[in-house]
Chains A and B, each alone.
Chain A
């Protein structure tokens, strides 16, 4: 699209600053969600309990706490994994092909995918946070005992993964807001670069 003679040509300093801010936010969000995925996926604790004593021989049972035992944590790992893959793909697309466009829909697709990723992370982290609260406090009315006093480091690592995921969610919210702003004010400095001598 050629510019008319009288049209002002925006030198896109503000929009390239916006692009760099979004890229930086995406890198931080990628690290946060990847950390949450990895910490929760490797979350496992085995402990041996003495359950009875016959004579002078203690009978012990070995119990394991794994993240696969709880569907909410499985969903948490899957959701954060998908969010970090999404961020990685967006970073790669921004760094290696910043001008690649598909029928002018690139910014709209990025904004919609960002919104979907925010919803996914939000669902995953909230399910995990309430399950963790149940494990930490138990529920006396349903006669569910708490498990965090026996499996302390399992609970600690789970808590750390949840905090990392919340940080990732916060950054993804900022990225989504900025993507929507970019969608509604598309950059025009690519058209100017051919005019500037």
Chain B
């Protein structure tokens, strides 16, 4: 039973590491330049603060996920891992929500503010950003599952006093 738990946790952490790394890399390599009537139109992730925040948050989460994969299973650091899981889940939630808000404006525009959608001109960039956001969503769901799992396995036997 303990072995199945260990394999499950390892697998979940591997998935979390993989998806956050994929989200960060796909967003960071999204770059497209098109020219429209001799006016060049360039789209990069650094031009939008929300996408920069998304890349940074996912990079931090993937580095943390990589380090935690190598933690021995009976070390005392697992309680710190529970707290860091919670902090990183919150960070990832906020980053994906912000990136999604800006990406929605890029796709549909905002007619009341006079902002035209840009996905018509730089559709490859838009598709890559969509892919990165989808990977980010899978990452955040995995982190949420990991958080609940960690609270159940690590904290439960340590501190619960059943009356």
- A residues contacting B by CB (< 8 A) are 1, 63-66, 69-72, 75, 118-119, 122-131, 133-135, 139, 141-145, 147, 180, 184-186, 188, 191
Contacts and interface: CB of A to CB of B under 8 A. Distances in A.
Contacts, number: 88
B43 A130 contact: no
Interface stretch (B4-12, B23-31, B65-73, B102-110): B102-110
5 contacts: A119-B90, A122-B97, A126-B93, A126-B98, A130-B102
Interface string B103-129: 011100010111110100000000000
A126 B94 contact: yes
B101 A71 contact: yes
B94 A123 contact: yes
Majority SS at the chain B contact face: helix
A128 B156 CA distance: 36
A147 B42 CA distance: 23
Which of A124, A131, A145 counts the most chain B CB atoms within 10 A? A131
Is the interface on chain B under 10, 10 to 19, 20 to 34, or 35 or more residues?
35 or more
Interface in B22-58: 42-44, 47-50, 53
B163 interface: yes
B101 A69 contact: no
Contacts of A144: 105, 113-116
Majority SS at the chain A contact face: helix
Interface of B: 42-44, 47-50, 53, 89-90, 93-98, 100-102, 104-106, 110, 112-116, 118, 144, 151, 155-156, 159-161, 163
B113 A72 contact: no
Contacts of B114: 144-145
6 nearest A-B residue pairs (beta carbon) = A127-B101, A123-B97, A126-B94, A72-B101, A69-B112, A130-B98
Given A118-B90, A119-B90, A184-B160, A135 B98 contact: no
Contacts of A186: 161, 163
B56 to A, nearest CB: 13
Given A186-B163, A188-B163, A127 B113 contact: no
B110 A130 contact: no
Contacts of B104: 71-72
A131 B90 contact: no
